[in-house]
Amino acid sequence: MFSINSVRESLRGEKQAVIASTTDDKLKVLQAHLKRSVENVKEQFEDHLEAINENTNEIQSNFEYICELDRKIDKLGERIDEIAQLIREQKGQKPKKFELQPLTKKEKEVFYAIYILTEHRKFTTYKAVSRRVCYSEELVAAYITSLIQKGVPVLKRYENRTAYISLDYCFRQLQAKENIVGVNTLLTHWV
């Protein structure tokens, strides 16, 4: 015999079974939707990563190209300086005279570092000179100021708050020919 309570209990059980089955179905649908969403996001990230890699490669090749152009411009600048010197000599103009006060041993080391570092590049930095002579950048800056005060024609230019230094081309040529500064031996730890 069926009682109303037993019918109610039976209906409640079926209702809970239906709710449970629809909850499982909803969960499965939700999981499938979530999986598709994650895969979609993953594909978008992979596309972005590929674009970033392509841009990085392009930036790298542009940087290498700019460095090559910079080297060529430096060489052209040196050749222009040489031509200007030849023209001055042919016109009978006297070469520049440089009068220097004697340099200390450490000033000579800093001078020599600048001389060597600007052999293949037109300019160098305080940091590069500092690494070469194993002095702090502040000490190198003080020695360079001293060199300038003693008559060494050090050229400076600033780019992005960084100081670049070099030697006057004519002075450099005379130094190579006449050893004006008195640097007559190579320091073995630099070679």
Q: Note the pLDDT of residue 138.
A: 92
Q: Amino acid identity, residue 26?
A: K
Give the DSSP per-residue string, 122-161. S-EEHHHHHHHHT--HHHHHHHHHHHHHTT--EEEEEETT
Question: Alpha-carbon distance 8 to 20, whole Å?
Answer: 18
**Given a cut of 50, is residue 118 above it in pLDDT?**
yes
The total number of structural domains that make up the chain: 2
Q: What pLDDT, on the 0 to 100 scale, is given for residue 4?
A: 63
Distance CA 177, CA 47 (A): 61
What average pLDDT does this structure show over 72-93? 77
pLDDT digits (tens, 9 = 90+) for 7-49: 566 656 666 665 656 667 777 777 877 788 888 888 888 888 8
- Among 74, 94, 114, residue at a domain's last position: 94
Q: Which amino acid is at 155?
A: L
Residues 6 and 86 in one domain: yes
Q: Which of 62, 94, 126 is the last residue of a domain?
A: 94
In a domain, 20, yes or no: yes
**What pLDDT sits at residue 180?**
57
> What are 88-106's pLDDT values in tens digits?
777 766 666 777 788 888 9
Which pTM value belongs to this model? 0.48
Domain boundary among 70, 94, 118: 94
pLDDT of residue 181: 59
Print burial letters for 107-130: b (CB count within 10 Å at least 16), e (below 16): bbbbbbbbbbbbeeebbbbbebbb
Per-residue confidence (pLDDT) for residue 66, from 0 to 100: 87
Q: What is the mean pLDDT of residues 114-135?
A: 89
Share of the chain above pLDDT 70, in %: 76
